[in-house]
Structure formats: C-alpha cells, structure tokens
Structure 1
Amino acid sequence: MNPGSEIGRLRRLQEVIARATAAPSHREVARVIVEEGVTALGGWLGALWLVDDESTLELLHWVGVEPGRRFRRVPLAGDSPLALAVRTRTPVWIASRAEYVAAFPQSAGREHEDEDEIACACLPLVASSGAIGGLMFAFHTEHSFPEDERTFLVTIASQCANAMERLRLLDSLNQLLTAEAEARRQAEAANRAKDEFLALLGHELRNPLAPIVTALSLMKLKRGDHERERSIIERQTHHLVRLVDDLLDISRITRGRVALVRGPVALAEVIGQALEAAQPLILERGHHLAVELRGGIIVDADHHRLTQVIGNLVVNAAKYTPDGGHLALSTQVEGDFARISVRDDGVGITPELLEHVFEMFVQGDRSSDRAEGGLGLGLAVVKNLVERHGGRVAAASEGAGRGSTFTVWWPLAGEDARVVPPPPVVSTQPVKPLKVLVVDDNVDAATTLGELLRVLGHLPVVVHDAPSALAIARDEAPELALVDLGLPILDGFELIRRLRDLPGLGSLTAIAVTGYGQPADRARSHAAGFKRHVVKPVGLEDLRSLLASL
C-alpha cells in the first residue's frame, strides 16, 4: 500500500467496510472488495470466487486482466494457492515466481506458459457457516506483502465474508417470509373454501328438506290420494341421496379407495345410459341435444364409473346453459384413446375460474339460477376417475357467455377386446315369503323397511335394539335378519354372533343395513359373517333385487 498515516489507513478500511456492508447483493459486495483491494495494492488482477458446491469455486467478479478459462471454476482439491487457502482457511502469500513454482509446481507449470514473475495473495472467505469462497490479488512483479497490507487484506476478506453471510441470511429470511406468507395465503384460501362449502352444503340440504316437510304437512291435512306429495318426497329424497353420494364419492376417489372393475366397454352403450339419466334435466330446460358418435369404439373402463363421468359432464352442461340452449356430444378416436367431447353454448367459464374448474368445491358465479344446485364436486370426480383410468380431461371456454367444451381422452381397449355381455337379469319374484327380523334403533327407518318387506310379500318383525331382537328370535326363528350396525347396548356385529348361538339359528342369513359404506366397513361386516352389506337408504327396487339374489 502507499505510505500514509495509520489514521489514513484506518479511514480507508472503514470506508471499504461501510460500502461492503451496505451492498445489496453478493455481486456488489464482490465488486467493492475486489476494486478496493486492487486500488490499494496496485496489482494487475483481483478476483473473488464463491463455493458453489462442496468441490468447486465459481468465479463471481474480477478487476484487471480477465482470468483464463481455468480460473472460472477452480477445484477445491486442486494444486493452487487459492484452493489451499480456502481448504485450510488460512491466507497464502506468494512473493515471487520462484516461490510459486516451488510451492505449487503442477499449477505453475499448467497455468503459466512464460517465465514472467508472479506474486499473489490468496485469502479465504470464512463465515459462521464455514469457508464460503476466496479472494486473490496478483502482480506481474515480486511483491513482499508487508504487514500493513496483510492486515488490510485479511480485514477486508473477513468483512467481505460477514457481508456475504448477512446477505445469505437475509435471503434465507426472505424465503422463509415468502413461504410463510404463501402458506398463510393457502390456509386462508382453504379456510374460505371450507366456509363457503359448509354454507353451500347447508343451503343444498335445506332445498330438498323444505318440500319434504311441506309435503308431509299436506298429507296430514288432506285425505285420500297423496300421489302428488309422495312424488315430491321421492324426488327430493333422491336429490338428498345424490348429494350424500357425491360427498362420499369424492372422499373415496381422492384417497384412492375406489375399486375399479375394468374391462372392455362399448362406449356408445355407456353414452346411451348417461344420456338417459340426464334426459329429465335436458327436457326440463328445453335444450337441444346433438349426438355424433363414431361406432364400434371399445374402451377399457369401469362401466359404472365411465357412465358417471359422461353423465356428470352432460348434466354440468345442461345446468349452466340457459333454457332452450344447445348441447352437443361427440366421440372420435385419437391414437390409443377415445376422445369424448361435451359442448354447450351456455354461460361459459372465465379465465380465472378455468384454472381451478376441476378442483373440489369450486363453483364460479356461472349463473344466478341455482335450481339444480350441487356442491361443486362433479368435475372433481370426473378428473379423478379419468386419471385413475390413465386418461386425461380438459376444459376450454372463450370466456363468460361464450359456452364451454369439456373433452375426455379415455384409453381404448386392446384390439382383441370384446365387450362382455351384462349378467342375466335376476328374477324379482321371491321364491317364498320369508320370516325377516328387522333391527334398527331409528324407528322410522325400521318401520318403513318393515312395510316395504310386507309389500313384497314377506313376514317382517321389527325391533329397535339387540335385547329385543334376541328375545323375538327365540320365538319367531327368523330366516333372514336385516341389522343396523350402530345399535345401542350391543352393536350389530355382536348381535349377529349371539343370534347364531341360539338353537336353530346357526345358519341365519344376515344382511347389514347401515349408513357406513367405506371399504373398511364392508370388509368388517363380511368378516363378521354378514352375507351382504347394504348402504342406506334402501329403496323398493333395491330391496326386491337384494332378496331375489339370496
């Protein structure tokens, strides 16, 4: 360094430290340190490297002659003064060419083709986390590095490391704050979605309950025929069942708990069944439906789930298209997939909603008419079922009021696949009247199930707890027991075990009639000896088919 007072040297050092500390980036810190070092020492090259992995130093900034390609990435295990300084966390001072060659013969021979004199100072950048980089200042002439220069360089190297570490910690803090803010945003969004869903669920459940309660009140007031009220109750009850089924479906599907029974399926047949189910809504809204099917398409699918997918898409199109709209369904083959498209000229989808349209509980304000209701689960069910079959689904819309198109690509069956014919229809006529024990603590559920059995020609006995069931069974010797699993005192599992311990009832046929329908529930009832597991509510035709199949 140039001669000067101690005060002058300290003032210069303070200025360098202040500038490095205020630098906003790692590269700016490097620029300040390298430029000040070269200016103070009068060298021909100054450079700074940072450790970019555990084995390499990456050049960040230099002043003076541009370093050669070898210097851009320096191996930490290499034979060079810079690598040695960083490895050992100790400055390396080389005063002359001879000293350099003696200490680093391989590096000197490789990196210097002439015999020019060289001197250099290499200093490690050491922070609390360890060695993070290195500094080098080089000269064409011999340079002895007096004590004041060494003190100056060691100090700026230390302050450089501190400044770099401060920036690293700030970066880490900013990343943590950003991640925390994003997590908070997602949590708030999830909380809003939950609140909106619960509000929507309450609204949707009240919709069918209101006409049911009204119809029951009318039946009390009126005498004679109750066909109109019965029809209202039946229709709204089916709507309630559909809402609950949607909730259970999305829960099972998203957790991978739905067992798919896959096989060759005729696509046209499935579409026919899906359209038949959607037809009442299409007719009610006065829509015009155009269907264009390519014949002979056989897909690899679970028949029921593919029908559900297509039905959901058609119903979705009908719901969000104003009365008298136009719907179109078409099929085509694309490579190894069947392409199924459902188009409408309805209210369309905004770009903001389009990004999230397949997410659970998402319902944009696509229409003020909520007569058909829904929980925003249909499209989430579609996406999960399609992807579980190895297909994909996409939504497209040019915006609000421009209609929408939903396209499904479903895997084709193999070339030799043949559609398996459906099993023959089981006769719905019972062979003979059966003595049936009905056990359910829900009095209304037990009574109505008993009435259905009586209508079908059987001989029901209805009780509401396990002790009563055991007492009746000793006298009546039932041939069949329909048992709710969640009974008080003794549950349905224990009741069946005790019933079969009674004389003459060791082979009693038992059917679980319950609100629990998860695979684990079915497996448990099967293990307990129930021949069938039926999920409430049980309709007339369901019960007729169930009994005929025994």
Structure 2
Amino acid sequence: GFVALVSDISSRKQAEAEKQQLLEQLRTERELLEAVLQQMPAGVMVAEAPSGKITLSNEQIQEIWTNPPTLEHFGHLSQYQGFHRDGRPYQIHEWPLVRSVQRGEVVTGEEIRFIRSDGTLGIMLVNAAPIRDRHNQIKAGVVTFYDISDRQQMEAALRDREHRFSTLFNGMEDWVLVYHLSPEGTPSQLIEVNEQACHKLGYSREELLQMSVTEIIDSTSVTPLMTLEKLKSEKHVVIESVHRTKNGQCIPVEVSATLFTLNGLPTVQSICRDMTERKRAEAEREQLWEWERQARAQAEDANRIKDEFLAVLSHELRSPLNPILGWARLLRSRQFDPATTDKALEIIERNTKLQAQLIEDLLDVSRILQGKMLLNVTALSMALPLEGALETVRLAAEAKAIALETHLEAGEVLGDPMRLQQAMWNLLSNAIKFTPSGGRIEVRLQTIGDELQIQVKDSGKGIAPSFVPHVFEYFRQEDGSTTRQFGGLGLGLAIVRHLVELHGGRVYAESAGEGLGATFTVRLPRLLAHPPANPAGVGRAVPLSNSCENLAPLAGLRVLVVDDEPDMRDLLWVVLQQWGAEVQVAASAREALRLLSRLPIDLLISDIGMPEMDGYQLMRQLRFAKRSLWESRLPEPGSQVKAIALTAYAGEWNQQQALAAGFHKHLAKPVTPEVLLEAIATLLED
C-alpha cells in the first residue's frame, strides 16, 4: 500500500511567479537605467557602501578618465591624481564619492584638476550624493563627472579676448559711444562707452549710461536723426558734428558711425575723434592764406602805385619844362613888346618854382625814408609859421576867389619854424587846390588842454570814405583823374604827417564824403612858457599829473645829454632847461666820459647809434668798471645814477639790449617832451 500526501502549492507558485515578474521588472529597469546612463553626457558611477566597490558606470567615464576606475574599495583611488584649485593633491577621504558614501555629504559643482592616463591635464566638474534606503541608511553613492577642460579653455580665451578688447577699447585716443535704436528708429539710451568718452565729455561711466546720445550732440550741429537716415541706406557714414561736455564746452568731432545688429536690436557704434587741433590748424591755414592774399594784393597795389607814380613823376617834371624851354627859345629868337616879355618871364619863373618844389618834395621824401630829416628846434609862437604859410598862399586863393577865414589864438611850441611853415603851406595848398572857385577855407588855431590844435577846413571836393585811411600815404592819390585835373605827386600830405610826427604831434583827416569838403586837424604839444622855480627840492622830479601846478619839475636835477646829432642835443637842452634842470651836453661817448671825470650828475640821457663808441659800450664801461669815474661822481654815498636810452632804434629787441647794457629806461625817437618828463619822473621816484 502507499500513502499519498497531497499539498496545495498554489500560493508558492504564485509567489515564484511574482518573484520572477519582479526580477524581470528589475532587469528591465536596470537595462533602462543603463541605457539612460549611456546616453548621458556626464560620466556616472555608482559605488556601494561602505566598501566603495563600483557597481555601475557608463562609457563617458572612459572618455573623461581614459583609464576609468575599477574600484573594489576606496583604497584603489590612490592610483588616480586629482588636484584642488590651489594645487593641493586630493587625499582619498577628500574625493567627493568617498565623502558621499562615508559621510553622507552632497557635493555640488566641485572642480577637480586631474591627470589622465596619457599624461594630459583635464578639469572636471563633479557632483556626488548618497543613496539611502527607507531606513535612511546609506546603501550606495552616485557621482557624476563633467569634463569642462574645453569649456575652461574657451572661457580663458574669451576672458583674454575680452581683456584685449577692453584694453584696446579703453586705450583708444578716440571716444566710442554705442546705443540701440528704438522700434521707431530713434536713438535710445547709451549701452556702452569707453574711458576716453568719460574723460573727454566730463561724465562718469554711470552718468553716460543713463543718457541718450541726443543729450551729448550739440543742437546746432548735425542731428542724430539725419545721421540715422544716411546709416539706414549706407550702413557706415563719416560726418562732422559737435559734442557738448558736462561743463558746456563744445568740441568739434569727426564721427565714424556704423549700423549693426546686437542681440536682435539695431545698434549704432560711433567712433568720435576730437578735431579741435585740426580745426585750429585749418583756421590758422585759412588765416595764413588770407594774409598771403592780402600781402600779394598789397604788393600788387604798391607796384601799381609805383608805376602810376613814375608816370605822374615823368608828367609833372616834363610839364613845366615845356613852357620854360618854349618861351626861352622864343625870347632868344625874336623881339617881343614889354608886356609879352614880362608875361613870358613870369611863366618861366612860375614853372621854375613849380619844378623846384617838385624836386624839393622828392628830396624831403628821400630824407624822410632814410631818417635824415633834421629839425632846427626853437621855442616859437605857432601863429608865426601859420601866418607865413597863409601869406604865401593868399595870392593863389585870391586867384580862385576863395575866402580865407582865420581864427588864431596865442600858443607856443618847440619846433623848427621852417618845417612847421612847410607843413602848414602843404595843408593850405592842398585845400586851395581842391576847393572850387568862390569856395571858402577856414583856418583855426586854438589851445586844447596841453596841446595846440590847427584846423584847415575847406568847402572842396571832399574825400571818399574808403580813401580817408590812405590820404597820408606816400604816392597816393584818389584816382588818376585827380592828377590830371589838379597835378602834383601825392607827396604833400605824407610830408605833412612826417613833419608833424617829428614835432611829437599827430594829424588826421575828416570828410563827410565826396563834394562835402574836408577838415585836416594837427595836434602839437604846447610849450609851457616862463616856468617858475620848483619848490619840491633839488634833484627830484614830480609826477606828470602835477606838471601844470609845478612848472619846474626838474629844478636842480643834474643831467648829462649824450647825442652825436646837434639838433637833438639842442632840443633836449632847451626842454630840460625849461623844466629847471642843470644840463650838460656831450657830442660823443668819449666826451661824456671826460665830463663825468669832473662833474657829478643825477641823470644820464644817451643816444645809442653814435660813432666810435655807441651808447651800449658807454653804459657797460660805466656800469662794470671796478673803480669807475661813474661811481666816484655820485651825488651822495649809496645813491645810483639813473640812465635813459633815447634812440631811433625802436624795436623790442633794441629795448632788451638797452636794459641788458645797464640803462633803466628805453625811449624811442621821436619822443614828446611830456613823455620824456613822465619817464624821468617815474624813474627818479623809483
């Protein structure tokens, strides 16, 4: 017999089926996980706890490490070399996977520099975290590796490019403004500027980046909208504009503007170059061109005037010769009645005088141009040369029925009677020449302050306003018809001007226009007559402003005048004597040295251009001699003799040369008595 045991295994079968199902599901999930891991760009490893044995990894580990870890335990990590940022090598317990498995740390974004099996250096970004069970126990750890070696190199290259760009951008001599355009196409806020823009415009970078380019461009220059219209069609334009700085200064600039797209937005980059120096150079060049044009025009004008003058000179010299020669031959060849003979002799005499006057004018001009016009100076009433000139021209005025009206006041000047009469005669002759028959000439002499004023006013043809500034120039006449109608060389008024200036005066002309007559005015320094003694004391001068109250301002002052020109010595002697000074004169520097050996002086007034020894040499000899006669003749111990250079060498260099030689002041000839007195007073007070 047998015993049959029957057991129900349905539940076990079911359990095994469920187990197989779970295992299949686990295999599927693992395969899925491995497939996902293989597709991940990062290298991934999973290590069990606590040994550190790797249970899962993907192919990226091979690409990153080239010799991926095959760990049975963490001790095997010693065969790999990793380094911190500061260069310290990683110890086993410092690796992120170890820290996660053993201590439960979560490591995020840790950079590790490592050496691959081929010896190359790489950089990886590491993240690690522990894997816990439901009881929060660490069962494993997972670590991911990202090879960022290429990214680091690109970032380093990018930083290098940015640094080089920044250096170039901020090191530019020009300034750069970058701004977007609004959807309407108008300039919006600045988005970038360089350091030069801040420096030139006077704003900080922060201030500029809060502004629009329209706030920088001066409203009077080209507008941004005009520039944008050109940019839209040409993409790149070069224009001139004006930028206004923070303090309101306007800077002319050349703007090179380019339109491009940045982050999908239309953007303008403006490179701006300061044109201040270029504009200044252009203005200077324009000025030079204008000066050259004017100089050329003046040279051409002078050449034309010279040619006209030579033609006029030929005409004026030949014209009197014809009646002289004609009548002389007629008188020798035939007999005339007494009346005709007298008329012929009168014509010959008149034309001879005219010829002589022309020659004398030419000689005077030659003397003036060579600086050889000499004056025989004396104190005189100005009415005397004026009345002499009036008497000379009276017959010519009567011949044209011109009324001569005179109003003459008393007044004295220091001057050359003959030359003053010549100047007055030229003015009166000029007035009679240009005044029509039946006209009127008014002559007035009056005192105005410390000057005498002589006016000759006529009712003649007048002067065109454009010619008034040239009326006293040599060889100038208003036009050729003037010469043909009135004759003359155009020298008379130029001679008047020079003679008046030699006497320390000035002359000018006025006219309301052609056909309205003209007025010529002469101003001469007035001579103060009969000066009383100076109560201020010996050897001192008073300011010029007090000279009307103190008429002997140099009383007791001992003066030595040195000049090789006798007329100048005489003039200075008269003037200084009149002011109360004790005056000695010397005709040469050597004579001055002899006088200084026996005479004490307070003031030396010396010419420069003298023969044998000039004024510079005289002054140096006096100043630098160890024991000079100059020092031995000082008026009192410790005092110093003052010295004035009075010379026709009038340039700034001449003044510097005189002061360097030891003179205290430099005065240029001609000098008025008032200017001389003021210079002496100032010098002695100092």
Larger radius of gyration: 2
TM-score normalised to the size of structure 2? Answer: 0.39
Higher relative contact order (CA 8 A, sep 6+): 1
